[in-house]
Amino acid sequence: MAHPSQLVLDFTQVKRGDVGLVGGKNASLGEMIGALEPKGILVPPGFATTSEAFRMFLAENSLDAAIAEHLERLADGKAALQTVGREVRDLILEGDWPDEIATAITARYRKLGEASGETDIPVAVRSSATAEDLPDASFAGQQETFLNVIGEAALLDACKRCYASLFTDRAISYRQIQGFEHDQVALSVGVQQMVRADTGGSGVMFSIDTESGFPDAVLINAAWGLGENVVQGAVDPDEYQVFKPFLDRKNLSPILEKRLGAKAIKMIHDRDGTPRNVPTSKAERQQFVLSDAEILVLARQAKIIEQHYGQPMDMEWARDGVTRTLFIVQARPETVQSRADIGTLKSYTVQDPGDVLLTGLSVGSAAVAGRVSIIEDASDIDRFIDGSVLVTGTTDPDWVPIMKRAAAIVTDHGGRTSHAAIVSRELGLPAIVGCGDATHILHDEQDVTVSCAGGEEGVVTAGLSRISVAEETLDALPETGTQVMLNLANPSAALRWWRLPIDGVGLARMEFVVNGAVRIHPMALAHFDQVTDPEARAQIEALTAGYRTMPEYFVDKLSRGLSRIAAFCYPKPVIVRMSDFKTNEYADLLGGRGFEPHEENPMLGFRGASRYYSDQYRDGFALECQAIARLRGEMGFDNVIVMIPFCRTPEEADRVLSVMADHGLTRGQNGLQVYVMCEIPANVLRAEAFAERFDGFSIGSNDLTQLTLGIDRDSDVLAPLFREDDPAVLAMIGMVIEKAHAVGAKVGFCGQAPSNDPDYARHLVGFGIDSISVTPDSFVQVLRNVSKAEHR
């Protein structure tokens, strides 16, 4: 007979090495209580039944031989999975608790209540298999969890149902896939005091970026109420991303991303204590679950937990609705990105994509083409056709057997930490989650292409597109004396390039962030009273809802968008070009038409530097400056260099630098460098005068070619004459490099030519260019071209 102390252990008696005794979940909870509570990690108290108790339960009810017989019939193909699973679960549920185990469990439960000053306290009852949460297998959601269990009888019943859940169809299937012998896995039950998250909030957190594997980000998902909706993907949660290296600097707020989720439902406790879903209020849907301070507290806890375990972690958290105290309720190793081969980079390109049918959050970076199979209920999974694109509302662990047979997965609901997302990553499948209405828009046997290759937004397009895959071995890339940098426009795709051995970002185009993340003309935000279009006013008011002021919306969205680009290669330099829309492009922003003049040739008109000190745009430029000041100051990204486009004269440069200083951006102050685009012949001819005012030049070959040769770069008729390698253009480039170097200024090149033409890199290296900035897809080839040119 086992001693009671071997049957049930308090979490304080358990450590991380006790997986064989109490399973991965419970071992981790005990480890955190013992080692991390002094560091501010709060874990609700509780206890765990041991594997010894599980094996005693089976032995006392003579179940071992019967279970083995049923599983042998499954292995021999004599019985179906569903039949065997149901029969084994029934055997366990019909078993009786040995007195020793029942007494040990109820005694610990009463002790837990006494410590909190309550009788029959609500507890969460979680399954913890002795082979789960290993570095190479997550066992995510394979066994059951029961929330808000109250009273001794209900507790014993929930514990027995946890035992039975070791033999759910999904758990049996998963062990077969992972190669675990069924009789080598036991089950521990964790009994943990409930956090009143039903009136607060809860969610999931990773100490690594789940899509790119970027190790310096913490990803947090949050929803109202109990956390099961986030885990199962039944709700579209808020999403926050935080830059980990700055978390030790308490004066900074390095929150890279705040995405408001729909949060249409929340799980609460019904009158009888059972959990149920109810619709959220309009106010809850429009409000972030976590404050900025709470986001940073959780991110710091993720960093502490990761450092303690020495590996990236997947955690669940809950916030008490009464005290607003934040608790960590689970922590396990992250099992996908932490095992990825960081020495190899795969990039996918969809050739000639069809019309866009759906968008959602991308999971992974791959793309596939296939035929749709819509399955809206797990009872219909027999209809699934192997190799097709699984389209469904949401998934849970019951879906794993068909998910592993899918080419891709598309769901209506869920975030990046939902079940569908986690399993898709583990299986290496591209998935797009939270599309909203995929099951309504798509239909069975429809040919589609599912692409996660474009950053955070995944796209489903019509038809079977051709997909190309490029694979690079990064440790074989050459080193160069010339810096090779990236041109980036899309913040959502920036983190995926962190493995590239780049020297920084030579061009981050602000206008792309304004167009994608802000969408509103800055003057319309600074002077909303002058916006007369009713439809534009309504859209602007909807987008800026929840912000203290409309200008704050612009500063917040722009600074966070740019921070993603500044973060992935920190502390290497990131050159952010201030907005370079043409007037016709500015007019297309929400509310923009009333603030932009009509021009016959916008390419040569009111653009770049001339706008920044003009009364027609000065207040808009002020918001751009405030965003950069916040990015470099409050957020900590002092690696950001500012660049001024289309600056026609040194005198114009003086006016722009003066306006920037008025808004907290003084060249040389706090290490701020300011560059100028070299794209006008005057920039070359008066290079020494420009070099007195700027720290460096970046050559924009498109405009420099246009203005040197007098060719409209958008003209189809003159296209054959538009050559960036024309001797006159090359002479301009050689001249500005020589003049700039003579006075100690740096010169980079951010045009497209080196990406398209290997010989162009040779020209630039020959001129002594300091850096070449290219698109990510051409980086590897340009790096090799530069290396060859240097060796010549």
CB 71 within 8 A of CB 88: yes
- b/e for 215-238, b at 16 or more Cβ within 10 A? bbbbbbbbbbbbbbbbbbbbbbbb
3-class secondary-structure state, position 695? coil
What does pLDDT average to over the chain? Answer: 92
Mean pLDDT, residues 72-97 taken together: 91
Q: Which of 230-234, 280-284, 386-390, 407-411 has the lowest mean pLDDT?
A: 230-234
Q: Which of 526-530, 599-603, 680-684, 739-743 has the lowest mean pLDDT?
A: 599-603
Distance between CA atoms of 766 and 752, rounded to whole angstroms? 18
* Cβ count within 10 A of residue 140: 18
- Sign, CA dihedral 680-686-687-692, equals negative
Beta bridge partners of 458: 360
| pLDDT of residue 768 exceeding 80 | yes
Name the percent of the chain lying above pLDDT 70: 97
Distance between CA atoms of 565 and 588, rounded to whole angstroms? 25
Confidence band, pLDDT 50/70/90 cuts, at residue 665: very high
The encoded tokens of residue 416 equal: 């990046």
Mean pLDDT, residues 278-304 taken together: 97
> What pLDDT is attached to residue 1?
42
Alpha helices in 76-186 (DSSP H): 81-93, 99-116, 152-164, 169-178
CB 177 within 8 A of CB 404: yes
Distance between CA atoms of 97 and 53, rounded to whole angstroms? 10
Q: What share of the chain is helix, strand, coil (3-state, %, to 5)?
A: 45, 20, 35
* Cβ count within 10 A of residue 259: 17
- Residue in 111, 66, 103, 62 with CA at minimum distance from that of residue 88: 66
Each residue of 544-565: pLDDT tens digit? 998 999 999 999 999 999 999 9
CB 412 within 8 A of CB 437: yes
Torsion of CA 550, 551, 557, 559, to 10 degrees: -160
3-class secondary-structure state, position 473? strand
| pLDDT of residue 136 exceeding 70 | no
> What pLDDT is attached to residue 535?
96
Phi and psi of 575, rounded to 5°?
Answer: -95, 110
For residue 670, the one-letter residue type is N
Distance of CA 685 to the CA centre of its chain: 46
What's the per-residue H, E or C state across 710-775?
A: CCCCCCCCCHHHCCCCCHHHHHHHHHHHHHHHHCCCEEEECCCHHHHCHHHHHHHHHHCCCEEEEC
Distance between CA atoms of 697 and 691, rounded to whole angstroms? 8
The encoded tokens of residue 319 equal: 């916030």
| pLDDT of residue 394 exceeding 50 | yes
| pLDDT of residue 380 exceeding 90 | no
CB 171 within 8 A of CB 165: yes
Residue whose tokens read 């290497």:
572
Confidence band, pLDDT 50/70/90 cuts, at residue 720: confident
> What pLDDT is attached to residue 59?
96
Distance between CA atoms of 626 and 629, rounded to whole angstroms? 5
- Residue in 343, 569, 364, 350 with CA at minimum distance from that of residue 472: 343
Mean pLDDT, residues 494-511 taken together: 93
> What pLDDT is attached to residue 729?
96
Beta-sheet pairing, 431-433 with 356-363: antiparallel
> What pLDDT is attached to residue 133?
43
> What pLDDT is attached to residue 506?
96
Phi and psi of 226, rounded to 5°?
Answer: -65, 155
> What pLDDT is attached to residue 139?
44
CB 316 within 8 A of CB 202: yes
How many Cα atoms sit within 13 Å of 778 on the Cβ side? 20
CB 372 within 8 A of CB 391: yes
Distance between CA atoms of 701 and 679, rounded to whole angstroms? 7
> What pLDDT is attached to residue 131?
66
- For residue 571, cis peptide bond before it (omega within 30 degrees of 0): yes
Mean pLDDT, residues 746-774 taken together: 89
The encoded tokens of residue 11 equal: 């979490």
* Cβ count within 10 A of residue 110: 14
Distance between CA atoms of 87 and 412, rounded to whole angstroms? 34
Mean pLDDT, residues 605-634 taken together: 97
The encoded tokens of residue 625 equal: 């400056």
How many Cα atoms sit within 13 Å of 771 on the Cβ side? 25
| pLDDT of residue 692 exceeding 50 | yes
Distance between CA atoms of 268 and 197, rounded to whole angstroms? 8
Residues acting as catalytic residues: 419, 750
- b/e for 339-353, b at 16 or more Cβ within 10 A? eeeeeebebbbbeeb
| 478: CB partners within 8 A, 6+ apart | 783, 784, 787
- Length in residues, the chain: 792
Residue whose tokens read 């070359």:
684
Each residue of 301-315: pLDDT tens digit? 999 999 999 999 999
| pLDDT of residue 190 exceeding 60 | yes
> What pLDDT is attached to residue 142?
59
For residue 165, the one-letter residue type is S
Distance between CA atoms of 185 and 224, rounded to whole angstroms? 35
Distance between CA atoms of 65 and 67, rounded to whole angstroms? 6
How many Cα atoms sit within 13 Å of 668 on the Cβ side? 4
Torsion of CA 449, 338, 399, 347, to 10 degrees: 10
| pLDDT of residue 651 exceeding 50 | yes
Residue whose tokens read 């920084």:
504
Mean pLDDT, residues 129-144 taken together: 56
Angle 197-199-204 from CA coordinates, rounded to 5°: 35
| pLDDT of residue 521 exceeding 90 | yes
Task: Classify residue 689 as exposed, middle or buried by CB count within 10 Å of its CB (0-12, 13-18, 19+).
Answer: middle
* Cβ count within 10 A of residue 759: 12
| pLDDT of residue 419 exceeding 90 | no
For residue 522, the one-letter residue type is P
Each residue of 464-474: pLDDT tens digit? 999 999 887 88
| pLDDT of residue 138 exceeding 70 | no
Distance between CA atoms of 438 and 201, rounded to whole angstroms? 27
> What pLDDT is attached to residue 257?
94
Beta strands in 299-446 (DSSP E): 313-319, 326-333, 344-351, 356-363, 367-374, 389-392, 408-411, 431-433
Q: Which of 493-507, 530-544, 554-568 has the lowest mean pLDDT?
A: 493-507
Confidence band, pLDDT 50/70/90 cuts, at residue 82: confident
First-to-last alpha carbon distance for the chain, in angstroms, is 81
The answer, as to whether pTM is greater than 0.85, is: yes
Angle 213-568-577 from CA coordinates, rounded to 5°: 145
| pLDDT of residue 177 exceeding 80 | no
DSSP state for residue 471 in the 8-state scheme: E
* Cβ count within 10 A of residue 210: 23
Which is higher by pLDDT, 452 or 490?
A: 452
How many Cα atoms sit within 13 Å of 512 on the Cβ side? 15
> What pLDDT is attached to residue 253?
96
CB 630 within 8 A of CB 559: yes
* 59, 93, 159 from 96: Cα distances, Å: 11, 8, 12
| 438: CB partners within 8 A, 6+ apart | 358, 360, 391, 410, 411, 412, 432, 460
For 150, the enclosing helix (H) or strand (E) is none
| pLDDT of residue 374 exceeding 60 | yes
Mean pLDDT, residues 175-196 taken together: 85
> What pLDDT is attached to residue 395?
87
Range picked from 112-126, 328-342, 712-726 for highest mean pLDDT? 112-126
Confidence band, pLDDT 50/70/90 cuts, at residue 5: low
Which is higher by pLDDT, 617 or 401?
A: 617
> What pLDDT is attached to residue 135?
42
